[in-house]
Chains A and B, each alone.
Chain A
Amino acid sequence: MILASAMEMIHNALPAAVLALGLATLFAVVLLIASIKLRVETDPKVEEVYNVLPHIDCGACGFAGCASYAKAVVANPELIGRCSPGGAETSVAIGRALNLQISGGGAPSRPIVHCRAHREDKLFHAAYDGIESCTSANAQPDVQACHFGCLGFGDCTRACKFDALHIVDGLSTVDYDKCTGCGACAKACPRNLIQMVPFTQDNMMTVACSSRESGKTTRTFCKVGCIGCGICAKQSDLFTVADNLAKMNYESYAPSEATQTAMDKCPTGVIVSRGQTAPADRQPGQKAAAATA
């Protein structure tokens, strides 16, 4: 009885099984032919280069993502070195894949925020209850008395793919341990406060202010703004003062005792250190001893 019904089941299922098998064979053949006929030639080099890239598609290189950068760099090896998250290591690896000799490349570039005013340093804040984005707030001219400083709504934080930028007490602050130097923050800032700087050393000295107001005016709205007094420029050639604002020359950056003196003598303490192991910013009015400690 059982055997008979099993036989019947097989008998009934047979045409379906044959049909399925036949179709499977047909598709297999079609796919086989298609795979030979429609084969896309991929450059093994592109794949090799792609494999050494960080695969985060940040766009720092100027291409849509790692895959398109890989393609571009194989076509034009001059583009090596554009991958800032990968840094020198990746450049060397790309070089190896392309049989080129690449030495370490330049210093990694990292962002420096040219403002150091936390909430309590900024005077005269207008009440703003609009859209919480720096770009929107910046369209309102009087949102804060300083028309140059950090607005603190975090457009840069949202642009960062590596969680390396945060608004700390009203000021955009870079976490240099996490930063890969892709430069997305610099593009997001509506006030152009963030500059990508070649970090030739772990910590870089900088003038953390962008105010081009006269010193007198700057003092009315900020406790830690650059007043353009020029004391730093007298100490070291690395500093230049133009438009009431001191600037650091990063191209020939070489810290010395003179720059340290400039930092210590700065009346508003706007010359600060930025980097992985940078000391805490000197408080305005606090004297040099604390800063060098």
Chain B
Amino acid sequence: MATGRGKGTFPGGVHPAEGKAISESRAVEAVPPPKQVAILLSQHLGAPCQPLVAKRDKVQAGQMIGKSESFVSAPVHSPVNGTVKDIALQSHPVIGRVTAILIEADAEGNTPQTPVFNRFDHTFSPEPFAVETICGAVNDGGLVGMGGAGFPTRVKIEPNPAMIKEVLVINGCECEPFITCDYRLMIEGTWQVLAGIRLAAKAAGVEKIRIGIEDNKPLAIGAMTEAAATVKDIDIAVVPVKTKYPQGGERQLIRSVLGKTVPTGQIPPTIGVCVLNIATCAAIADAVVLSRPLTHRVTTVTGHAIAKPGNYYVAMGMSVADLLDHCGGLTAQVAKVLMGGPMMGFAIADLTTPLTKTSGAITVLTQDDVTKAKYEKQQTPCIRCGRCLTACPEGLNPTKIAHAVKFNRMDLAEQYYMSACIECGCCSFVCPANIELTGYIKTGKILVARAKKRMQA
């Protein structure tokens, strides 16, 4: 397989307003441990965990409290010392109500966990860690892709004779507007991120490492390049890529960095590539070197309707309401609270929703933001302008798919490669007629999945 050089960009994509200035200069700040956490048992793609504790059990910070026997799954851990109050349904930001373990933190003895950036430096070497040790620690640490999808990391980096990995691509794009958590990690925790990258590279057995960073983050590019220059035992390089949404989509990033295309309907390992997110790499270093499971992460709290925006080191399971309170609370103009950024994020109405391993940001939008983005609320007929075709990073025809779904022609929608859609939202973003193209395509996917399930039954 020839690994050609990428051109730093991919066809399609859009340029939404960045909005990163709100939080990008704010250093990561540790949040005091919350009084109560709700640990969702399904924070990843794959089988949900089964609780390992019962009501009224005492738990320690870092103790594994949920686990699944299934291969594609990741265990969950308690971020605090405390008592299990209940095992009940809780709101999940994406999939609705799921079972969660509610833990009441002890009044005393809970010191705030802080980031451990200074524990790593240029002297780090992955030499003492065997591949099995790394995979084991990653699995026991409950690591998942922290960029959004939440795919278990162990499954990604574990050596697999069927799919030999040649290149490790690190996703430092953070193309989603407003979010700055990975940016801060690259600047403040450069050595920790690099340690994680090298551990992952060793486990995956790759020959090359490429770190893709959007060119609107010169400080991060500088810091990572400097750090990467100290690594001599493996081919590693930082690749600045064009600032464009969805540059951080793994298929798009591979195209930009390596110039290779992942075939439609296939996953990156089929062409020998493994993609990891910056936050995941930092967590790998945490889990493998310091044996700290994934219980805390950097989350950006941002938007125009929050008093104290910034990047916070928070315990997972903390409720959105508690975190917003810590950030000075919402201002009066608030209109929408998003888990994630404005392009891919999910609007949440229930602020008791706990943070999960994949919550990179909470974006709070004002009425102005919401109406400005949708200057005309009315949806009008498609004028066949073709802007969605130009914007689609996967080269699909969103309007054809959306209309097929609208008229219940799932066979047609499938013919137009509905399943290849990555749901980035570019088509809806550019549509001058305000048609919710991505919404229709998502609906179509759900309907097809349901029909297939019924056929099997």
CB distance from A182 to the nearest CB of B (A): 15
1/0 contact trace for B79-106 toward A, CB 8 Å? 0000000001101111111000000000
Residues from chain A with a CB closer than 8 A to the CB of B97 are: 141, 147, 213
Q: Say yes or no: is A124 at the interface (Cβ < 8 Å to chain B).
A: yes
Residues from chain B with a CB closer than 8 A to the CB of A213 are: 89, 97
How long is the Cα–Cα vector from A135 to B94 in the complex, in angstroms?
A: 15
Report if A142-B348 is in contact (Cβ < 8 Å); known contacts: A131-B443, A213-B89, A217-B89. yes
Partner among A124, A130, A145 whose Cβ is within 8 Å of the Cβ of B436: A130
Q: Say yes or no: is A277 at the interface (Cβ < 8 Å to chain B).
A: no
CB distance from A213 to the nearest CB of B (A): 6
Report if A135-B446 is in contact (Cβ < 8 Å); known contacts: A124-B349, A129-B377, A142-B348. yes
Q: Say yes or no: is B440 at the interface (Cβ < 8 Å to chain A).
A: yes
In residues 329-372 of chain B, which contact A (Cβ within 8 Å)? 346-350, 353
How long is the Cα–Cα vector from A139 to B439 in the complex, in angstroms?
A: 9
- B351 nearest in chain A by CB position: A142
Q: Say yes or no: is A2 at the interface (Cβ < 8 Å to chain B).
A: no
Report if A190-B347 is in contact (Cβ < 8 Å); known contacts: A136-B439, A142-B91. no
Residues from chain B with a CB closer than 8 A to the CB of A126 are: 347, 349
Q: Say yes or no: is A212 at the interface (Cβ < 8 Å to chain B).
A: yes
Q: When the two chains form their complex, are residues B89 and A187 in contact, meaning their CB atoms are under 8 A apart?
A: no
How long is the Cα–Cα vector from A126 to B346 in the complex, in angstroms?
A: 13
Report if A135-B447 is in contact (Cβ < 8 Å); known contacts: A126-B349, A129-B377, A141-B346. yes
Partner among B94, B96, B439, B450 whose Cβ is within 8 Å of the Cβ of A147: B96
Q: Say yes or no: is A51 at the interface (Cβ < 8 Å to chain B).
A: no
In residues 415-451 of chain B, which contact A (Cβ within 8 Å)? 436, 439-440, 442-443, 446-447, 450
Residues from chain A with a CB closer than 8 A to the CB of B95 are: 141
- B443 nearest in chain A by CB position: A136
Q: When the two chains form their complex, are residues A135 and B347 in contact, meaning their CB atoms are under 8 A apart?
A: no
Q: Say yes or no: is B454 at the interface (Cβ < 8 Å to chain A).
A: yes
Interchain pairs with CB closer than 8 A, number: 55
Report if A139-B442 is in contact (Cβ < 8 Å); known contacts: A124-B349, A187-B454. yes
Residues from chain B with a CB closer than 8 A to the CB of A240 are: none
Secondary structure dominating the interface of A: loop
CB distance from A129 to the nearest CB of B (A): 7
Residues from chain A with a CB closer than 8 A to the CB of B349 are: 124, 126, 142-143, 145
Residues from chain B with a CB closer than 8 A to the CB of A214 are: 88-89
Partner among B88, B348, B439, B446 whose Cβ is within 8 Å of the Cβ of A130: B439
- B451 nearest in chain A by CB position: A187
CB distance from B204 to the nearest CB of A (A): 33
Partner among B350, B442, B443 whose Cβ is within 8 Å of the Cβ of A145: B350
Residues from chain B with a CB closer than 8 A to the CB of A138 are: 446
Contact-residue size bin, chain A (C-beta under 8 Å from the other chain): 20 to 34
Q: When the two chains form their complex, are residues B443 and A139 in contact, meaning their CB atoms are under 8 A apart?
A: yes
Report if A142-B350 is in contact (Cβ < 8 Å); known contacts: A135-B447, A213-B89. yes
Residues from chain A with a CB closer than 8 A to the CB of B436 are: 130-131
Residues from chain B with a CB closer than 8 A to the CB of A140 are: 346-347
CB distance from A133 to the nearest CB of B (A): 6
- B450 nearest in chain A by CB position: A190
Q: Which of B92, B346, B377, B443 has the most CB of A within 10 A?
A: B443
- A214 nearest in chain B by CB position: B88
In residues 50-106 of chain B, which contact A (Cβ within 8 Å)? 88-89, 91-97
How long is the Cα–Cα vector from A212 to B348 in the complex, in angstroms?
A: 21
1/0 contact trace for B251-275 toward A, CB 8 Å? 0000000000000000000000000
Residues from chain A with a CB closer than 8 A to the CB of B347 are: 126, 140, 142
Q: When the two chains form their complex, are residues A212 and B89 in contact, meaning their CB atoms are under 8 A apart?
A: yes
Residues from chain A with a CB closer than 8 A to the CB of B443 are: 131, 133, 135-136, 139
- A243 nearest in chain B by CB position: B89
CB distance from B27 to the nearest CB of A (A): 32
Q: Which of B347, B349, B446 has the most CB of A within 10 A?
A: B349
- B442 nearest in chain A by CB position: A139
How long is the Cα–Cα vector from A176 to B347 in the complex, in angstroms?
A: 38
Report if A141-B447 is in contact (Cβ < 8 Å); known contacts: A130-B436, A131-B439, A136-B442. no
Q: When the two chains form their complex, are residues A139 and B92 in contact, meaning their CB atoms are under 8 A apart?
A: no
Residues from chain A with a CB closer than 8 A to the CB of B346 are: 140-142
1/0 contact trace for A236-270 toward B, CB 8 Å? 00000000000000000000000000000000000
Q: Which of B377, B439, B450 has the most CB of A within 10 A?
A: B439
1/0 contact trace for A90-128 toward B, CB 8 Å? 000000000000000000000000000000000010100
How long is the Cα–Cα vector from A270 to B442 in the complex, in angstroms?
A: 34
1/0 contact trace for A128-159 toward B, CB 8 Å? 01110101101111110101000000000000
- B97 nearest in chain A by CB position: A147
Q: When the two chains form their complex, are residues B91 and A141 in contact, meaning their CB atoms are under 8 A apart?
A: yes
Q: When the two chains form their complex, are residues A141 and B89 in contact, meaning their CB atoms are under 8 A apart?
A: no
- A133 nearest in chain B by CB position: B443
Residues from chain A with a CB closer than 8 A to the CB of B89 are: 212-214, 217
Report if A141-B442 is in contact (Cβ < 8 Å); known contacts: A129-B377, A135-B447. no
Residues from chain B with a CB closer than 8 A to the CB of A139 are: 442-443, 446
- B95 nearest in chain A by CB position: A141
Q: When the two chains form their complex, are residues A141 and B377 in contact, meaning their CB atoms are under 8 A apart?
A: no
Q: When the two chains form their complex, are residues B440 and A141 in contact, meaning their CB atoms are under 8 A apart?
A: no
- B444 nearest in chain A by CB position: A135
Partner among A129, A131, A141, A143 whose Cβ is within 8 Å of the Cβ of B93: A141
Q: Which of B97, B348, B446, B454 has the most CB of A within 10 A?
A: B97
Residues from chain A with a CB closer than 8 A to the CB of B450 are: 190
Per CB-CB distance, the 6 closest pairs between chain A and chain B, nearest first, are A126-B349, A142-B349, A141-B96, A136-B443, A147-B97, A131-B439
What are 14 sample pairs from A and B whose C-beta atoms fall under 8 A apart? A130-B439, A131-B436, A133-B443, A138-B446, A139-B446, A141-B92, A141-B93, A141-B95, A142-B91, A142-B347, A142-B348, A145-B350, A213-B97, A217-B89
Q: Kindly list 11 other residue pairs between chains A and B, CB separation below 8 angstroms, not including A141-B97, A141-B346.
A: A126-B347, A126-B349, A136-B443, A141-B92, A141-B96, A142-B348, A143-B349, A212-B89, A213-B89, A214-B89, A217-B89
What residues make up the interface of A, taking CB atoms closer than 8 Å to B? 124, 126, 129-131, 133, 135-136, 138-143, 145, 147, 187, 190, 212-214, 217
